[in-house]
Every structure is written in C-alpha cells, then in structure tokens.
Amino acid sequence: MPITRSLKCFVVTLSLACMFFHAQFALAAYPDKSLRLIVPFAPGGGTDQMARSLGAGLTKVLGQTVVIENKPGAGTVIGMDLVARSTPDGYTLVVATFAHAVNSTLQSKLPYDSEQAFAPVALIARGPNVLVVRQESPFQSVKEIVAAAKAQPGKLTYASQGNGTSAHLAGEMLQNLGKIELTHIPYRGASLALTDVVSGQVDLFIGTAAGVSPLLAGGKLRAIAVTSPNPSSAFEGVVPVAATLPGYAVESWYGVYAPAGTPALIINTLNAAIQQTVKNPDFIKKIENEGLTISVGAPSELEQYVQAENNRWKKIILENKIQVQ
C-alpha cells in the first residue's frame, strides 16, 4: 500500500521529535562522564595550581571527575588549539589566561580564530603579578634594578614562561617605562623559569601571584614589587612598580572556555558549577592568599573583559613591535 503524504509527514515529524527528545535527554544528563580541563602551560606554575584547585571543586559539584591535562607550548596556542578542535559537548574545557587576550596580536597566524573558536564559560579570578628575585639577590627595589640596568645595558636577565606571555610583556613594559635594556630568557613554563631564578641563573621574574607565592612563603624568593597600580593586601609592605615607574600596570586573570558551539544549557551548567565552587571557603582562602580576587559572573562578562584586555595590550604590542612567530 503506498504511503500517503499525511503518513510521510507524520513519520518525519515523529523522527524530528525523537531526535529533539534524545538531544534534550543528553543535555539533561550532562555530565555523565569525566571532563578534561586543559592547562596550556607546564605543571607547577600558577595556572596549573589554579586549575587543580578548580578541578577538585568542580569534581565535587558536578559529580564527575575533572581530569587536568597540561598541554604547554607556543604561548598557550597548543593547548588552546586542542580545545578549539574538540567536540563542543562540554567535556573538554580550557583555563585561559592573559595570553589568550594578546595572541591574536602577537602572532601573525593562529590555527584558530580567537574570537570565534571558543565559548566563554566564566572569569575565575584576577590579580597582580609580582616582580621577584632570589632571596640572596642584592636588589631591594625597582629603583636599584633600573639603576643597575642603565649602568650595564643588557646584563640583567629576566625569565618568562614563554614568548608573548604575561611575564614577557610585563618585562617589556618595565624596559619601556624604565628606559632600560634587559635580556629576556624564555622558558617552557613558569616552574622551569622559577627554578633558574631561585638558583641564580636568571636575575628577575615577573610572575603570577599564584605561581610565586609558594616560593615566597618558603623563603626562596623575595618580592620586590607588585604590578598593580596600588599595593596588594596579599603582599603587605610590597610597593607597586608604578611607585617608581608611573603608569606601570599588569594584571593576571584566569577564565574558563569551552569550544564554540557548546550548547547554552551546558555552558550555564558549568557556569553555575564554577560559581558554587568558588564560594567554598577553602577555595576562597587559597585564592586570596595568592593575591587574587574572585571575579566570577556571567559568561558574557568574561567575553567583555578579554576584549578590553585585547584592546589595551594591542596598542602596547604594536608600539613596541613585539612579534612571536
């Protein structure tokens, strides 16, 4: 018996309804397996520590294990690209940092579109960087560092966790405003850079509060200055770089992204889980002890903040002709 047009329409409608129901059921069941949280830096640095604290909290809130995966290299591009190419199902996320806001200006070719390849989930925290030296260093102030650099241009070295990272650009700004010449030594990750600062192989490092705090507490490093315009309550007695070099300001931040196309329901579930995680007293204490301020809001707030950072640093990068190939 031939199938009538009405029957065909019914079959098509039923099929679409089943597909819709299946999709909605899958979203409602999210998450039903472990998640990957990509850290685009080597283990041991500030971003890694932040991610592990966040992952532990999300594991409790979501009821699924959040596995931390370190994918360092190319100024975070390797890790970010992995996420950009991942299935947008909410099971692969990335902790983005300062580098995400500047890479599109620093690098002439990226394997992804920074503005189109990712879906913002939540801004986690913001805070100053800290200019540090080894405990035995003769330098006690920014003024002394500037004077030494002017006396012997290029002799003083500063480490970073890679070309184009916050530590690198913070050092470039220090040179620019201080009218001095330093030698930049890039590493594959903050922990490697810090190891050589502690051992005296490199003179200076401008690291995230989260990255340098354990070594400051352990007496292996000494804080010279913070990069915020005003003193930080987490670093009592440490003056801002801006007290010596007016206009100096660098801020670190941490945000979570998913691949573009991730359903809004999943994004909202993750955002809510992050908001619950950061309210945990243990998480708050850890963040505040590292000089950071929790700044979790709607996904759109992360997008707006990063765009503002991009605009601010784009001008500095272009003026100083900084390029990462």
pLDDT tens track for 203-220 = 999 988 878 888 999 999
**Block residue for tokens 């290029």:** 154
List, in order, residues 6 or more apart from 70 with CB less than 8 Å away.
Answer: 39, 41, 42, 43, 48, 79
**In terms of C-beta density within 10 A (0-12 exposed, 13-18 middle, 19 or more buried), how is residue 154 classed?**
exposed
pLDDT at residue 15 in the model? 59
pLDDT at residue 4 in the model? 64
- For 120-185, the three-class secondary structure string (H helix, E strand, C coil) is EEEEEEEEEEEEEEECCCCCCCHHHHHHHHHHCCCCCEEEECCCCCHHHHHHHHHHHHHCCCCEEE
pLDDT at residue 238 in the model? 95
What are the tokens at 271?
Answer: 């955002």
Closest to 323 (Cα-Cα) out of 33, 131, 104:
104
Percent of the chain exceeding pLDDT 90 equals 61
| Helix (H) or strand (E) segment spanning residue 293 | strand 293-294
Contact yes or no for 128/226 (Cβ under 8 A): yes
Domain 128-243 -> CATH class: alpha beta
Question: Regarding beta strands 183-186 and 221-226, do their DSSP bridges make them parallel or antiparallel, or are they unpaired?
Answer: unpaired
Residue 52 pLDDT > 70 = yes
**Whether the domain at 27-127+251-319 and the domain at 128-243 fall into the same CATH topology:** yes
pLDDT tens track for 171-204 = 989 998 999 999 999 987 788 999 999 999 999 9
pLDDT tens track for 218-268 = 999 999 999 998 898 888 899 999 999 998 989 889 999 999 999 999 999
pLDDT tens track for 114-173 = 999 999 999 999 888 999 999 999 999 999 999 999 999 999 999 998 777 788 889 989
pLDDT at residue 122 in the model? 98
Q: What is the rounded average pLDDT of the residues 52-81?
A: 95
What are the tokens at 176?
Answer: 């620019």
pLDDT at residue 26 in the model? 46
Choose between 13 and 44: higher pLDDT: 44
Question: Regarding beta strands 157-160 and 183-186, do their DSSP bridges make them parallel or antiparallel, or are they unpaired?
Answer: parallel
pTM of the model: 0.76
pLDDT at residue 25 in the model? 46
Instruction: Calculate the average pLDDT of the chain.
Output: 89
Residue 78 pLDDT > 90 = yes
pLDDT at residue 164 in the model? 77
Residue 1 pLDDT > 50 = no
Q: If you ran DSSP here, which 8-state letter would residue 214 be given?
A: H
The CATH fold assigned to 27-127+251-319 is D-Maltodextrin-Binding Protein; domain 2 (3.40.190)
Contact yes or no for 40/188 (Cβ under 8 A): no
pLDDT at residue 178 in the model? 95
Positive or negative torsion for Cα 221, 288, 254, 174: negative
pLDDT tens track for 2-26 = 556 666 656 556 555 555 444 454 4
Domain spans of the chain, in order of start:
27-127+251-319, 128-243
Closest to 263 (Cα-Cα) out of 68, 20, 12, 52:
20
pLDDT at residue 69 in the model? 98
List, in order, residues 6 or more apart from 192 with CB less than 8 Å away.
Answer: 42, 161
Closest to 111 (Cα-Cα) out of 90, 80, 89:
80
Positive or negative torsion for Cα 218, 47, 274, 71: negative
Residue 51 pLDDT > 70 = yes
